[in-house]
Amino acid sequence: MTPPAGPRILGGRGSPGHIASPGHIAVPGQSAAPGQPAGPAAPGRPAAPGERTGPGKACGPSVPRPPGRPPAPRKPACPAQPAEPAADELGSPQGSYAAGPRWLWAVPPAVTLAVVLWGNQRPSYWRDEAATLAAVRRPFGDLVSMLSNIDAVHGAYYMMMWIVVRLAGTGEFATRLPSALAMATAAAVVAATGRRLISPRAGLFAGLVFAALPEVSWYGQDARSYAIVIALATTASYLLIRVLGAGRSRRGWLAAYGLALTAAGLVNILALALIPAHGLTVALALRRQRSRAARRSLLAGWLAAAAVAAAAASPLIAVAWAQRAQEHWLKKPGLRMLAALRYLIGPSALVIVVLLVIGCAIAVSAAGGRTRIRADWPAAMPALCLPWLLLPPAVLLVGSLIQPAYTLRYVLFGLPAVALLAGTALAAFGRAAGAFALVVVVLAGLPAQAAVRWPAAHGDNIRMADSIVAAARRPGDAVLYASAAAGNMAAAYPYGLAALRNIALDRAPIPAGTLSGTYLPPAAVRGRLGQVRRAWVVEIGGASPARLPLLRGAGFQLVRTWGPSDIWLLLYRHRDKPYHGHREPHRPYPAAGTRLLPSAGG
């Protein structure tokens, strides 16, 4: 039986449930006849005012029928359609993601790599980098044996660097190159996150802000694991937003997310402090899920991935707990530690500029109304970045009340969150104003960028100390390390401290299975001092060097003092054992007690 004449439901490609009046077939992109209800907007065409868009929007109450026409039959029930994600939900809605030109993707990592490699050989190795070299110069089996005694938390990094130094050597460029590449990778992922959550412009700005942060250059020029942890944490955060935006097809993204989180935990167990931050992000995303089944599925998947990462790192956590005595230098948290969090951004001038940029951008967006601020600052961005930036320091600071485990470099993986928030702010200003604000941010960070490239930028100018020792040493000279942190310095360079005989050493580092070996008791060291004509004493820190108690009453007098950076070199000579037939080195040195300027070093 033919139904009475009236509105018909027409199916069409790209326009399910489209309404057409009798005798008129609507075509996507074609205007509706006068008085005809509008159909869905054609692909690539913005919806007209009052126009209904999206699948299934035509289902529902019938359109009004003309007078005198019999009533139309009830419309059939709408077929089940997947719920569309909200515009501010984590992960872009299907079809709304704008990737931007592919060549633009390469700009942030290329700029970051260029910035980090600029002058990466100028800073001298510092004591932590010397520890890396002390670990990786030994045979691989001895490295594994050492990790059972000390520095297990850095084991994965040391194994990677063991390969690097055998392929490329132990020069500053080679050993710092993995960190530079890791920072470039992090910049690429930061930009991808900004594109995914907001726009290509926001991603570009975020990646360039990341490159401009002085701490990115500092740790990108450091032969330690922190840059790699930043890259892995950034990757895990990006994969999390893909998980949250993937719907039912999230299994592959969950597997990749769990792998990235596991890798971050194995490189440094403290990176697992990212898990509570991601947990809060997931909790905020659960509130937007429209069905209980979807919420359960998302929560169960994320919990499984986080549990796998924690379980994989649990043996390392147990070993690190057994080795916690090596972190004796860490202190319990105080107000100074909280105040120092601003240095994640940089010096005070840069902090002020970045905060002003973010604050002004929020004000500009708010002035445009609710629609503007929701477009410029989708809830997904703060839901990801604020927990990422704030919760890991909070977790470590609270945990440090029981066992100190916090210093600023342990939470450096929050740097990308700063860049994302700043990039979002720059994009909210628009193309021209955002580019101008980016230039202001870069200029505010330039003095700090120059400072991290000084020879003593990392604190310890071991290169200069070695140069001094190499020029002034004589056959038979001995060395004593007055500071425990100085014991690894001889591994940094081969021509200075490494050439002196450590008379306090009982067992060498490799046989002892430690970074710097084991040491004799003071009485045994004093016995060895009786056979020495000249002794070098190495101290770290302090406004002035203190006389080593071990030398009191042993017949030694201070000959000369040097102070390259925060290292003190003190040369002692035995009164009763003068040299015969040797002259003082011809190279002029500063007078005793003079501290050398950092810029004077190589």
Instruction: Tell me the per-residue pLDDT of 10-44, one tens digit each, with 9 for 90 and over.
Output: 333 333 334 343 334 333 334 444 444 444 444 34
Q: Mean pLDDT highest for which of 145-149, 343-347, 405-409?
A: 145-149
DSSP conformational letter for 455: T
- pLDDT value at residue 96: 59
Confidence at residue 341, expressed as pLDDT on a 0 to 100 scale: 85
Three-state DSSP state, 192: helix
Mean pLDDT of 336-365: 92
Residue 84: strand, helix, or coil? coil
**DSSP secondary structure letters along 479-505:** EEESSGGGGGGGGT-TTTGGGSEETTE
More confident residue, 328 or 254: 254
CA count, 13 A, side-chain hemisphere, 127:
17
**Strand pairing category for 567-574 and 534-540:** antiparallel
Averaged pLDDT for residues 301-319: 96
Q: What is the pLDDT of residues 439-470, one digit of tens each?
A: 999 999 999 999 999 999 998 999 999 999 99
Give kind and range of the element (H or E) at residue 536.
Answer: strand 534-540
For residue 258, pLDDT beyond 60: yes
Instruction: State the Cα–Cα distance between residues 240 and 91, nearest whole angstrom.
Output: 9
d(CA 499, CA 517): 16
Question: What per-residue confidence (pLDDT) applies to 599?
Answer: 31
User: Phi/psi class of residue 478: alpha, beta or left (left: φ > 0; alpha: ψ in -120 to 50)?
Assistant: beta
3-state secondary structure of 153: helix
pLDDT at res. 338: 82
pLDDT of residue 387: 97
Question: 565-589: b or e for each residue (b if 16 or more CB lie within 10 Å)?
Answer: bbbbbbbbbbeeeeeeeeeeeeeeb
In the predicted structure, residue 163 carries a pLDDT above the cut 90:
yes
| Residue position matching structure tokens 């005595």 | 325
Q: What is the pLDDT of residue 487?
A: 87
How is residue 481 written in tokens? 């390390």
Cα separation, 116 vs 183, in Å, equals: 8
Instruction: Indicate whether 565 pLDDT > 90.
Output: no
Three-state SS for 559?
A: strand
- The continuous run of DSSP H or E covering 560 comes out as strand 556-562
Q: Please tell me the distance from the alpha carbon of residue 53 to that of residue 14, in angstroms, as a whole number.
A: 11
Tens of pLDDT, residue by residue over 192-250, are: 999 999 999 999 999 999 999 999 999 999 999 999 999 999 999 999 999 998 877 88
How far is 126 from 133, CA to CA, in rounded Å?
11
The predicted structure's pLDDT at residue 66 = 52
Q: What is the pLDDT of residue 548?
A: 81
Lowest mean pLDDT among 11-15, 177-181, 333-337, 416-420: 11-15
**Mean pLDDT along residues 595-599:** 36
Give, as one character, the DSSP assignment of residue 350: H
Higher pLDDT, 598 or 244: 244
What lies within 8 Å, CB to CB, of 115 at 6+ separation is 211, 212, 216, 217, 220, 449
pTM of the model: 0.81
Question: Residues 220, 120: contact at Cβ < 8 Å?
Answer: yes
Total Cβ atoms within 10 A of residue 418: 24
Distances (CA, A) of 323 to 286, 317, 470: 39, 10, 35
Q: State how far the Cα of 221 lies from the Cα of 219, in Å rounded to an integer.
A: 5
- To the nearest 10 degrees (0 to 180), the angle between helices 107-117 and 200-212 is 0
Q: Does 601 score more than 50 pLDDT?
A: no
Q: What percent of the chain clears pLDDT 90, i.e. is strictly above it?
A: 65
Predicted confidence at residue 546, as pLDDT, reads 75
**Contact by Cβ (8 Å): 164, 140:** no
Tokens of 408: 């600023």
Average pLDDT score over residue span 527-539: 91
Q: What is the mean pLDDT of the chain?
A: 83
Given a cut of 70, whether residue 301 has pLDDT beyond it is yes
Token pair belonging to 334: 């105080």
Better pLDDT: 94 or 284: 284
pLDDT value at residue 99: 79
Residue 536's nearest CA partner among 478, 457, 453, 600 is: 478
Q: Look at 87-101, 264-278, 333-347, 386-400 and tell me which has the smallest mean pLDDT.
A: 87-101
- 362 vs 422: CA distance, rounded Å: 11
pLDDT at position 426 over 90 = yes
Alpha-helix residue ranges (DSSP H) falling in 198-267 = 200-212, 214-220, 226-245, 251-267
Identify the CA nearest to 405 among candidates 337, 355, 472, 470.
337
**Rounded Cα gap, residues 450 and 212, in angstroms:** 12
Q: Enter the tokens of residue 591.
A: 């007078």
pLDDT given for residue 123 in this prediction: 96
